[in-house]
Chains A and B, each alone.
Chain A
Amino acid sequence: KAGVTQTPRYLIKTRGQQVTLSCSPISGHRSVSWYQQTPGQGLQFLFEYFSETQRNKGNFPGRFSGRQFSNSRSEMNVSTLELGDSALYLCASSLEASGRRYEQYFGPGTRLTVT
């Protein structure tokens, strides 16, 4: 079974631009979460989607948004890019399971550099 895929792997943008990142979850997984990883802050939760609905959102400004399609693929968008948005953006998918188990499978990430 193929793992989580993310495109593109690397991206360079200029301040003020916007960017869209894509994530394809593991087949059958309906929950997709996005994380930002930086050396200073570590892994920080952005948001989670399930069945095309945002279920949970982290503490990020409104410039960060996302969506999920009917095939569970997800995109995240960052508008008006700032230098501080330079980070590794990770997508994780999860098979919705009973109880409180929450095992996530991560993709390789998209390295975004803002200049």
Chain B
Amino acid sequence: GESVGLHLPTLSVQEGDNSIINCAYSNSASDYFIWYKQESGKGPQFIIDIRSNMDKRQGQRVTVLLNKTVKHLSLQIAATQPGDSAVYFCAENMGYSGAGSYQLTFGKGTKLSVIP
């Protein structure tokens, strides 16, 4: 499979436990944030997003928390499964870039390893 990062922070969790992946973003003016999951050999896959006017959003087994005061984003995965093993990226919308375009900036990523 593809190697997406040789020096990524790694989080190892036992199957069934909850996982928390953290991300610090850079631009206090960013107003839209996304979490992506990237499995080996695949492109990033959209998981969940959140707007800056919210501090929490829940999906299926996933919750995103946003703390604008400290520019921090977290992804919580409940009852982690082996299929959750992947690299997780946060991305922030850096805002309007002109001509109708919005640019995303991605974090470095965190590798999640689930121990069966």
A contact residues vs B (CB 8 Å cutoff): 4, 35, 37, 39-40, 42-45, 48, 50, 53, 55-56, 58, 88, 90, 92, 96, 100-109, 111
Contact = CB atoms under 8 A, between A and B. Distances in A.
Q: Report, nearest first, the 4 A-B pairs whose CB atoms are least far apart.
A: A106-B43, A43-B106, A56-B101, A55-B101
A108 B42 contact: yes
25 contacts: A35-B106, A37-B4, A39-B3, A39-B4, A40-B7, A42-B89, A43-B109, A45-B104, A45-B105, A55-B101, A56-B97, A56-B101, A58-B103, A92-B44, A96-B100, A100-B31, A100-B96, A102-B32, A102-B104, A103-B34, A103-B46, A103-B49, A104-B104, A106-B43, A106-B45
B4 A88 contact: yes
A57 to B, nearest CB: 9
Interface of B: 2-7, 31-32, 34, 36, 41-46, 49, 89, 93, 96-109
A101 B43 contact: no
Given A42-B106, A43-B89, A107-B43, A55 B100 contact: yes
A29 B105 CA distance: 21
Contacts, number: 75
B46 A104 contact: yes
Given A42-B108, A45-B104, A102-B102, A88 B44 contact: no
B5 A39 contact: yes
**A interface majority secondary structure:** strand
A90 B104 contact: no
A59 B31 CA distance: 22
- Central interface residue in B5, B43, B44, B45, by most chain A CB within 10 Å: B43
